[in-house]
Amino acid sequence: MSDTEIKLARIALTMLAEPGTRAVYRLVARHGPVDALTMTLAGEIRDQPTREAVQARLGAGDPRPLAETALATGERLGARLVVPEDDDWPRQVSALEHIQLPGADRRVDRELAPPLCIWVRGEWPLAEAFDRSVAIVGSRASTQYGEHVATDLAYGLAEREWTIVSGGAFGIDAAAHRGALAAGGLTIAVLACGIERAYPVAHTALFDRVAETGLLITEWPPGADPLRPRFLIRNRVIAAATRGTLLVEAAARSGATQTMRRALALRRRALVVPGPVTSAMSVGCHEILRQHASARLVTNVSQVLEEVGRIGSDLAPVPQGPQRPRDQLDDQASFLLESMPRRGAISPDTVATRAGVDIRTALRKLTLLEALGFVIRRDGGYALVTTRRRAATEDDPP
């Protein structure tokens, strides 16, 4: 069975049933994606609501050629597809296999299976990008206070080499992405539609910036619309892929509090920023703190680090040595890094020429190297980071 067959089968399955559908996930887990697709097409799904939903979608045509088109479209858009068969798959999302939300009476609160595949725009290896990551979520109708706090925390965490994950929405999500970008850090926007859809449209430029230095990801194939329930379906991935979820501002029973409930059910760190009790935008935050003993009130970056810095019991142990060793860099980034002078700054042009990399790529890679803490901007150029900290955790180049 070729990689492409596997990928096409997984894509087709996300076209036949919404991501998260347990019946489909179980079929894939038992029979592999290709046979699971054959069985699904043949109506061999036990769960009746799922079988009926699949049947209805089959009315739109055979999903197999559509999947081929989607894969080609994705490639054309500069998006790649990552599947669980890849080394680059973020394994921690498999915690979703066993998640159970208390009092789940809606379908979206029960169909919480792990993703079948993830579309990725941006150059970071997916698993590595999620390795030391924190979700920052909150209300779209945020206040100035909430946005200030979200930006500040995202900036501080990104500065300390934590990836900021959010949903790309207005308000707190956007503040979190922007804070991470301002720190030259890594941020991931998890979309609820096709990778090519800038939703909301006003965030087109923001998404381009995110993809430039971080990642845009989604479970849905190109062309998928940002339908309302998909935001809630998407939220389980934000909760599962990160070390912890930080709720900044949320109205009662908002989408962001739902992400938090998923994080709590997954035993990920559940961190909450309080706010004025007079603000409707903090009601959801205070409710989470009141209802869940394991939710933790946090007020600054070091308190967040104190929580997510611990290795969660249901997360694979994270190596405590070099977090992002050089040998995980791609060729161009490695060449650039090796072309840097041991002391002093160098202009991007000069290092690009030395490394044999075109200037546009060099600028992008240097931003990435900066976000990783290998280089810093200095004297109008870039310089190697040679702090005691970096030296202590990583061997010097030969």
Site of interaction with a second copy (CB under 8 A): 145, 148-149, 273-278, 282-283, 286, 289-290, 293, 296-300, 303
The Cα 155–Cα 147 span in angstroms is 12
Nearest to 245 by CA among 288, 207, 281, 213: 288
Pick between residue 299 and residue 386 the one whose CB is nearest to a second copy.
299
Task: Compute the least distance from the CB of residue 290 to a second copy, in Å.
Answer: 6
The CB-of-268 to a second copy minimum distance in angstroms stands at 19
Residue number, 91 or 148, with CB nearest to a second copy: 148
The least CB distance from residue 252 to a second copy, in Å, is 11
Please identify, using beta-carbon distances, which residue of 290 and 343 lies nearer to a second copy.
290
**Least CB distance from residue 272 to a second copy, whole Å?**
10
- Smaller CB separation from a second copy, 196 or 249: 249
Q: How far is the CB of 174 from a second copy (least distance, A)?
A: 19
Q: Which CB, 299 or 328, lies closer to a second copy?
A: 299
Comparison of 297 and 316: residue with beta carbon closer to a second copy: 297
CA proximity to 135, closest of 164, 115, 159 = 164
Minimum CB–partner distance for residue 256 and a second copy (Å): 17
Q: Which is nearer to a second copy, 263 or 273 (CB)?
A: 273
Q: How far is the CB of 279 from a second copy (least distance, A)?
A: 9
Q: Output the smallest distance, CB 145 to a second copy, in A.
A: 6
Looking at beta carbons only, is 290 or 342 nearer to a second copy? Answer: 290
Beta bridge partners of 296: 271
> What is the closest distance, in whole angstroms, from the C-beta atom of residue 285 to a second copy in the complex?
8
Q: Report the C-alpha gap between 111 and 96 in whole angstroms.
A: 10
* C-beta of 51 vs 296, nearer to a second copy: 296
